[in-house]
Structure 1
Amino acid sequence: MAWRAVARFEIGTSHEKQQIPCQDYGHYRILNDVIVGAVADGAGSAKYSDVGAKLAVETVLEYLSRIDKYIHKQKRCWERFSQPSKEQAKRLFAKTTKKAIAALHKQADSSDYSINDLACTLLVFVATPQWVAAMQIGDGFMVVRPQDSEHQLLFNPDKGEFVNETTFITSANALDEMQVDVLQGQQEFICASTDGLEKVAIRMSDWTPFAPFFQPLEEYLWETKNPEEENEYVINFLQSERLNARTDDDKTLLLCLFDRQ
Structure 2
Amino acid sequence: MAAIDLKETGWRVFGASVAGKSHLDQGIPCQDAHAHVKVGASLVAVVCDGAGSARHSELGAQFVANTLAQALAHALRQGASIQDLHDGALAYAMAQVRGALEALADNHGAVLGDYATTVVGAVMGPSVGLFFHLGDGVGVAQLDDGGEIISLPANGEYANETWFLSGERWRDQLRLLPIPRCVRGLVLMSDGCMPFAMSKHNAALYAPFMGAVQNYLSCMDDIVLGEQALAHTLLDPRTHQITGDDKTLLIALRA
The residue aligned with 2:206 is 210
Listed one character per residue, the Cα deviations across residues 50-103 of structure 1 (whole Å, up to 9, x for unaligned) are 010011111111112222564xxxxxx2xx52xx44x74141220121122011
Contact 2:152 2:202 in 1 (8 A): no
How far the C-alpha of 1:204 sits from its partner, in A, is 4.3
Contact 1:4 1:226 in 2 (8 A): no
Asked if residue 55 in structure 1 is aligned to residue 63 in structure 2, the reply is yes
The gaps in structure 2 that reach 5 residues or longer are 1-8
Q: Choose the corresponding residue for 1:163, options 145, 159, 165.
A: 159
Q: Percent identity?
A: 26
How far the C-alpha of 1:144 sits from its partner, in A, is 1.4
Distance 2:239 2:194 in 1: 12
Asked if residue 181 in structure 1 is aligned to residue 177 in structure 2, the reply is yes
Matched residue pairs, number? 247
The residue aligned with 2:223 is 227
Q: Choose the corresponding residue for 2:132, options 128, 132, 135.
A: 135
Which residue identity lines up with residue 151 of structure 1 in the other structure? E
Asked if residue 246 in structure 1 is aligned to residue 254 in structure 2, the reply is no
- The residue matched to 1:171 in structure 2 has which SS? coil
How far the C-alpha of 1:18 sits from its partner, in A, is 2.1
Describe the shift of the 1:34–1:88 C-alpha distance in structure 2 as closer, same or farther (beyond 3 A). Answer: closer
- The residue matched to 1:168 in structure 2 has which SS? coil
Question: Runs of 4 or more off by more than 4 Å in structure 1?
Answer: none
Asked if residue 117 in structure 1 is aligned to residue 125 in structure 2, the reply is no
How far the C-alpha of 1:205 sits from its partner, in A, is 3.3
Q: Choose the corresponding residue for 1:146, options 143, 146, 156.
A: 143
Q: Choose the corresponding residue for 1:31, options 26, 39, 45.
A: 39
The residue aligned with 1:91 is 88
The gaps in structure 1 that reach 5 residues or longer are 71-76
Describe the shift of the 1:234–1:225 C-alpha distance in structure 2 as closer, same or farther (beyond 3 A). Answer: same
The residue aligned with 1:3 is 11
Contact 2:14 2:226 in 1 (8 A): no
> How do 1:182-201 residues align onto structure 2 when only pairs under 5 Å count?
182-201=178-197
Which residue identity lines up with residue 29 of structure 1 in the other structure? V
Q: Choose the corresponding residue for 1:107, options 104, 108, 111.
A: 104
TM-score after normalising by structure 2: 0.90
Describe the shift of the 1:68–1:151 C-alpha distance in structure 2 as closer, same or farther (beyond 3 A). Answer: closer
Which residue identity lines up with residue 139 of structure 1 in the other structure? D
Contact 2:14 2:227 in 1 (8 A): yes
How far the C-alpha of 1:199 sits from its partner, in A, is 1.2
Distance 1:122 1:90 in 2: 19
Contact 2:39 2:76 in 1 (8 A): no
How far the C-alpha of 1:156 sits from its partner, in A, is 2.1
Distance 1:68 1:156 in 2: 25
Listed one character per residue, the Cα deviations across residues 12-60 of structure 1 (whole Å, up to 9, x for unaligned) are 1101122221100001111221111101000010000001001111111
Distance 1:88 1:103 in 2: 20
How far the C-alpha of 1:228 sits from its partner, in A, is 3.6
Range that drifts further, 101-110 or 15-24: 15-24
- The residue matched to 1:248 in structure 2 has which SS? coil
- The residue matched to 1:230 in structure 2 has which SS? helix
Range that drifts further, 23-32 or 214-223: 214-223
Higher relative contact order, chain-length normalized (CA < 8 Å, sep 6+): 1
Distance 1:214 1:206 in 2: 13
Distance 1:145 1:180 in 2: 17
